[in-house]
Amino acid sequence: MKTIMELKNIDKTYGNITALKQVNLGILEGEVLSILGPNGSGKTTLLRIMACIEKPTSGEMRFNGVKVDQGNINKVRLKTTMVFQKTALFNTSVYKNIAYGLHLREYSKKETDKKVKEALKTVQLEGYEKRPAKKLSGGEQQRVALARALTLDTDVLLLDEPTANIDPKNVSIIEEALTWLGKEKKTTMVIATHNMFQAETLTTRVALLLGGKIAQIGAPKEIFRGPPESLASFARLENVFSGTSRILQEGTSVINVENGVQIEAALRKSGKVTVFVRPEDIILSKKTVASSARNVFKGKIVEISDFGPVVKLKVDAGKEIIVQITKRSFIEMKLNVGSTVFLTFKASSVHLI
């Protein structure tokens, strides 16, 4: 695959604040790249530079091998489309919102109708053409914004937190649309997200952005299954435990954390430690299971988050623990808030930060 967009030594500062530091990144034609990072890491700024909405303080961007400068920047802008996190729709119908960019490009009525119809089908909003866009739910408005971007059929589609702050049903529909665009249409996409599940399942490459720097880049399995220290620091959002570690005779360590909770880890380290456990590495059951796993906790579900094909559960087991299971397992076990469950994970699933 050829490199369609390339960023070289990109810096971006706002006064005394540095948003991006020496970013070097190539976007391959037909790939789906996620820019993964916590809030404030520079994801939105990076996308805005890719969209030619903002200029870097230093460094350069190339599009199809040609350096982007003042003479060609407007042409490059027409080759990218950005879907913003905060949806900005016009106070008119869904059809007119989606067709807006096509009217500016002077598409015929016949071609406009065709493209709007195709886009509405992709985001599962057929029949919504005449509805007032502003009266739709937040998730439906985000789907309209995505449809509007799709009609333009540009070389690169940029999405800034496309499912942030919307309900699980609309999250699932948008994820389904993005999966289809990537796998079937081979649409070149860059998705900025703090959602590790989306980065792992929707994209072909992941660039981990921390503090304005690209900390690591690679295939999802390379990033998530053998986490370096930089990914571990980002994973602090879930299942992080700090405590005092003591090495056992058999070579593992037991970590004493708050509220009398103990975690056994396949580590040989004593003293103060901080560790994390991936939600998907934890087995959830309604009864204790026969297993060689060293860590078993009993607790109650206090929160349920539906992410379409998977469900995340927050369990109070003396410490709050986040568990990720499939939607099918969730339904089959008939789980609800307040359900008593058992959590099991191996000592080798405990990673040191």
The whole-number pLDDT of residue 234 equals 61
Going by pLDDT thresholds of 50, 70 and 90, the confidence category of residue 200 is: confident
Residue 89 in tokens: 């729709």
Domains in the chain: ranges and CATH = 3-228 (3.40.50.300), 238-348 (2.40.50.100)
Burial of residue 259, with CB atoms counted within 10 A of its CB: 0-12 exposed, 13-18 middle, 19 or more buried: exposed
State the pairing for strand pair 32-36/189-193: parallel
Helix ranges, the chain (H): 43-50, 73-77, 94-104, 109-122, 138-151, 168-183, 196-202, 220-224, 229-234, 327-332
**Is 10 within 8 Å of 23 (Cβ atoms)?**
yes
Q: What is the DSSP string of 132-158?
A: BGGGS-HHHHHHHHHHHHHHT--SEEE
The whole-number pLDDT of residue 267 equals 86
Instruction: Give the Cβ contact number of residue 271 at 10 Å.
Output: 8
From edge to edge, which strands make up the β-sheet containing 340-345?
283-285, 340-345, 295-306, 310-316, 320-326
Which phi and psi (to 5°) does residue 315 adopt?
Answer: -120, 130
Distance CA 231, CA 234 (A): 5
- Write the pLDDT tens digit of every residue in 80-94: 999 998 888 999 999
Q: Is the dihedral of CA 130, 133, 135, 141 positive or negative?
A: positive
- Write the pLDDT tens digit of every residue in 283-308: 999 998 888 888 999 999 998 888 77
Within 8 A by CB and 6+ apart from 80, the residues are: 50, 51, 52, 154, 155, 156, 157, 158
- Write the pLDDT tens digit of every residue in 100-130: 999 999 999 999 999 999 999 999 999 999 9
- For the entire predicted model, the pTM comes to 0.69
Going by pLDDT thresholds of 50, 70 and 90, the confidence category of residue 236 is: very low
Distance CA 65, CA 152 (A): 22
The whole-number pLDDT of residue 196 equals 79
Distance CA 186, CA 179 (A): 10
- DSSP annotation of 93 reads B
